[in-house]
Every structure is written in C-alpha cells, then in structure tokens.
Structure 1
C-alpha cells in the first residue's frame, strides 16, 4: 500500500468508494463534497476553518446501483431529494475529517435503509373464538357493574 503524505491519517476512509451494505458500493466519483464554515464549536478556528460538510450523490446517475435498486431508492427517498440528488450535512465536530466521516456514515445508513427489501405482506387474521368469548364476557361484566351504579330510586 503506498502512503500518501499529503493526506492526514484516516483520509483514505473518506476519499474511497462508499460501502453501503447489501453488496452495494457507491464509487467515489459519484460523491460530491461541499465545504463551508460551521456555526458550531471551534474556538478561534471557527471563522477560518471550513469544517461543515455537505455530501451529495445524484441517485439518477449513480453507477453503483442497478436499475431496480435505483428505482427503489428514488421512490423511498423522494421527499428528501432535490432533482434526484440526495444531500446530507455534518457539522457536529470541529475537525473536517471527522465531519466527513460522519456525513459518509449518515449517507450510507440512509441508502442502506432505502435499499432494504420491502417487508412481507401482512396475512389478514381473525381473533380466535376464545378471544371473542373473553371480550364479550368482559363487556357483559362491565355493563353489569355500570348498571349497578345507577340511580338509588
């Protein structure tokens, strides 16, 4: 493995492809990063360091998804999309690198949840005869109790 001295340690984790789970990997070229100043903690560096991160991926053109997966993700994440682009932001840490990791983790979790297969259809059932009988007995008992509370004529 060749070491890249121009990058801080842990930078390879944020520059490579995004592993989503379920055998899906989003290529690094499909991820768009945007950096800005964070409003959170930072001390003297808060006004000079671009530590707020926005990570975007265009789901309509993403090479890491099959057409079936793309359709499922676009349908399930529709309220969060702007022209088919999903964006997550992270600004909770002072370090840009930690915010980049947080944004990647958040994006991966969203995509993993959206890629999950649909739950099995519910099979309609009806209550058992014993459950119906218990419910009716309880109703009769409550009605009798309430009737006894009536007026004292």
Structure 2
C-alpha cells in the first residue's frame, strides 16, 4: 500500500513494477543484474477519486502518456529495493503535486509613497539629463 497522504493511498495491485537492466556505467553489476525499476500506474483504472484522476490527467508531465499511464524509471541506486522505493516516492510526489490546490493570486498595488518616490527619481533623472544638453544662447 503506497500512502500519498492521510486520506489517500494506492493499493499495491494497481502499481505494476518490473525489473530491467540499468543504463550507463557500472561495469559487471549493471551488465549482470536487473536492478533498475520500471513503474507503471494506470490513472483511469485506479481507485483514486475522480477529482484526483482529472487533476492527474490534466497535469502536463512527460511521464504521463496519452493513454493516461504514468511511467517512471528509477536506476540511481545499485539495488532493486532502493530503486523500487525511489520510484514509488516519485509517484507519490507526482500525485501530491497534482492534487495540491492552486494558490489564487491576490492582486496588489504599490503604496502611494513608493509611487511618489519613483516619480521623484524619474524627475530628478530627467533634470540631470537636461543639464547635459548643449547650451543655446
């Protein structure tokens, strides 16, 4: 059972995990042992609430396919167990970020003193530039 937060959890049977060989440097361990993890999670077929599913499907993330399947590959660690934990953690983080409510922007305005200060500095700068002009008699 992968726990997302206090009210949301994903059963293990909904997460498909397969072992694959890792890429890159690592010598004999990488060539022999399938320690990397390929995690697949079908959003539409999951037991997540409908609002959570909609938020995940509307999320613009390259790990979510057009078919609504989250694909995560973890190969940072040497052991299968650590890579499995890392992939599950990434899945939980993705779901948490998609279900986090969007913070509304509260429109603000600069204080009157700040506006006056800015305008005074513009006037002062204009006067300095005016003094640089050629003097006409």
TM-score by length of structure 1 reads: 0.79
Mapping of 1:33-112 within 5 angstroms?
33-63=17-47, 65-77=48-60, 79-82=62-65, 83-112=67-96
Question: Which residue pairs with 1:145 in the alignment?
Answer: 128
Q: Secondary structure at the match of 2:4?
A: strand
Q: Secondary structure at the match of 2:13?
A: helix
Q: Would the aligned equivalents of 2:19 and 2:38 in 1 still touch at CA under 8 Å?
A: yes
Question: Which residue pairs with 1:117 in the alignment?
Answer: 101
Question: Which residue pairs with 2:118 in the alignment?
Answer: 135
Q: 1:128 to 1:38 in 2, by over 3 A?
A: same
Which stretch of structure 1 is more off in the superposition, 143-152 or 99-108?
Answer: 143-152
Q: Would the aligned equivalents of 1:58 and 1:85 in 2 still touch at CA under 8 Å?
A: yes
How many aligned residue pairs are there?
A: 135
Residues 10-60 of structure 1 show CA distances to partners (whole Å, capped at 9, x for unaligned) of xxxxxxx11112521111011011221112444322212111111111111
> Which of the numbers 2, 8, 18 marks the counterpart of 1:24?
8
CA RMSD of aligned residues (A): 1.8
Q: Secondary structure at the match of 1:21?
A: coil
Moved over 6 A (4+): none
Residues 114-139 of structure 1 show CA distances to partners (whole Å, capped at 9, x for unaligned) of 111121x2232332222221111011
Q: Would the aligned equivalents of 1:55 and 1:88 in 2 still touch at CA under 8 Å?
A: yes
In structure 2, stretches of 5+ residues that fail to align are none
Q: Would the aligned equivalents of 1:38 and 1:46 in 2 still touch at CA under 8 Å?
A: yes
